[in-house]
Each structure stands twice: as structure tokens, then as C-alpha cells.
Amino acid sequence: MLCKAHRGRGDGGACSAFTLVEMLVVVSIVSLLLAMLAPSLKGARAQARQVVCASHLSQWGVAFSCYTAENSGVMPHCDGLDRQDPDPDNPDYHNPKYPPWQVADWHGWVDVLPPMLNLKAWRYFQPREHPQAGTFYQCPSAQLADESLYSGYQPRRNGFFSYAMNSCLELDENAWTPPGGTDYPMPSFLDAARIVAPERVVLLFDQLLDPGKGYGGATRYGSAGQHCGSYPISFSARHAARRGKLGGNLLYCDGHAAWQETVWRPDWMDWDVNRQQGPPRSDPDWYPYPAPPAKN
């Protein structure tokens, strides 16, 4: 029988066993220690997912740089074949009579960059086979909401995008009409050399997947996670930070990735909801080069 050595042998050599009260005290102490450690362990797991997410974005950044170097300095398009269904028998075929804004879909970053990372391009996945959570296409913290909240698509069937390319980099017919028309330079395929401040212009970001949290939490965003190119309205809040705040990772045009609590600004609200769904043209964090001078 197990006994307590520290009690001594005043009873002729016999050892006394643990009492019920002593066992309860030990269990209470262990439970208290686990309760104290649980938040730290949870925070450590969240921090680990945040680091993995940043690593994913950094590797996508390398692929962007390689593609740009191999294509005369031109970046891939922010929109891909997620906006239309390629022919399953020949997903590489597109009608040469298509207008330029449709041709751009075949040069989307989720189709042209994955082969550089030994991954299958998005266009080659069949429905219900698209990359889901836990793949290199997704943030490790990516979690879909109730599918009844989404508008017009089924993310678990059609796949979803945890990462999105900043659509402000290339506003054209394929995306939204630029504010003020198209009388200023805004190419369909962006020349990386024209980016004025690559260290601050967002390239990819960790986007919203919960439609109920769109537009800064003020308006439902039914297409959350549907497209591989989007605007700051779809910046997500999935990573735990200090004092219970939330945020996500961003990849910048110079290739570095960083965590940020939010990119939402209240003064965008009227613009986003009622008009362009993007930040003001003067915002240097999202547009690749300065806005043209105002017309007299």
C-alpha cells in the first residue's frame, strides 16, 4: 500500500495513507493551476495560428515577386476564375473574343501563383473539392459562419477565400468603376514599379468570413469570403490580441507581412455602404499611386 514517507515511523514502521481531505486539497490546487494556465495556452495557440498565417502571406508575397519579375514587372490580377465557372473539360480555354475584363479572370492570383508554390491552381478544383480550412489557401483561424447568412453562394460547396487581394490596386471593368470615372491612370494589370510606397500599400489581407460582421460591424456583408479580390470592408477580425481585441494579418507590396487590429475607419461608412465599397481615392494605404489633381 502506498504511504506518506514524510510522516515518519512513530507507529512501529507503518506509514499512513493520504487522507480524503488531503487528496481534495491536491486536486483543488491542480485545478486552480490549470485554470490559471488555460488562458495562456489559448493565447499561445492563437499566437501560433497568427504566426502561421503571417508565414502563409509571406510565401504568397514571394510568389507575387517571382511572377512579377517573370512578367515584365506586371502583377497578376486581383480577380480570377472564382467569378465564373471555367469549362471543366478544359479550364485553360477562354474565348479570344471575350472583352479584356473577362480575359483578366484567367490571370487571377489564385490561378497563376499556386504553381510557383507547387500547389494546384484554383481553376482546376471541382465543386466540393476547392481548398477549405487548413490548407495553404486559408488562414489557420479561418472559420465559416452559418451558410444561411451568405448571399448567392455556398462556401462549403464552392470553396471560399480566407485571403483576398486588395482590389484598389486595379479598378477596372472587371471590378468596380473607379470613383470619378476612368479618366486617370488605373491599369487592369498593375505595373509594380508604379507603386509609390510599396511598404505601406496593402497587397493581400486576411478577409472577413462572417457576413454578420461586415462594414465595420454596422451592415451585413453577404458575400464575405466569396472572391479572391476585395476591399477593406472585408478585412476580418479572427485573431485574438491583447486585452481581448481582434485583428488580422496583411501582406504589403514590399513583401512583408504584419498583424493589424483593424483597417476600418468610420469616415468610410457612407462611401462603402452606398457607393464604392472602397476607401477614398486619397488613401495611400490601399491605392498604389497618388490620386490625380482635382479638375478645375
Give a three-class secondary structure readout of the chain: CCCCHHHCCCCCCCCCCCCHHHHHHHHHHHHHHHHHHHHHHHHHHHHHHHHHHHHHHHHHHHHHHHHHHHCCCECCECCCHHHCCCCCCCCCCCCCCCCHHHHHHHHEHHHHCHHHHCCCCHHHCCCCCCCCCCCCCCCCCCCCCCHHHCCCCCHHHHCCCCEEEEHHHCCCCCCCCCCCCCCCCCCCCCEHHHCCCCCCCEEEEEECCCHHHCHHHCCCCCCCCCCCEECHHHECCCEECHHHCEEEEEEECCCCEEEECCCCCHHHHHHHHHCCCCCCCCCCCCCCCCCCCCCC
218 found inside a domain: yes
| Position 136 pLDDT exceeds 80 | yes
259 found inside a domain: yes
The residue segments making up the domain with residue 214 are 129-274
pTM, to two decimals: 0.78
pLDDT band for 244, please (50, 70, 90 cuts): low
1 found inside a domain: no
14 found inside a domain: no
Domain total in the chain: 1
285 found inside a domain: no
167 found inside a domain: yes
Residue 5, pLDDT score: 46
Residue 48, pLDDT score: 82
pLDDT band for 11, please (50, 70, 90 cuts): low
6 found inside a domain: no
| Position 10 pLDDT exceeds 60 | no
133/69: higher pLDDT: 69
7 found inside a domain: no
Residue 110, pLDDT score: 92
Cell of 94: 477562354
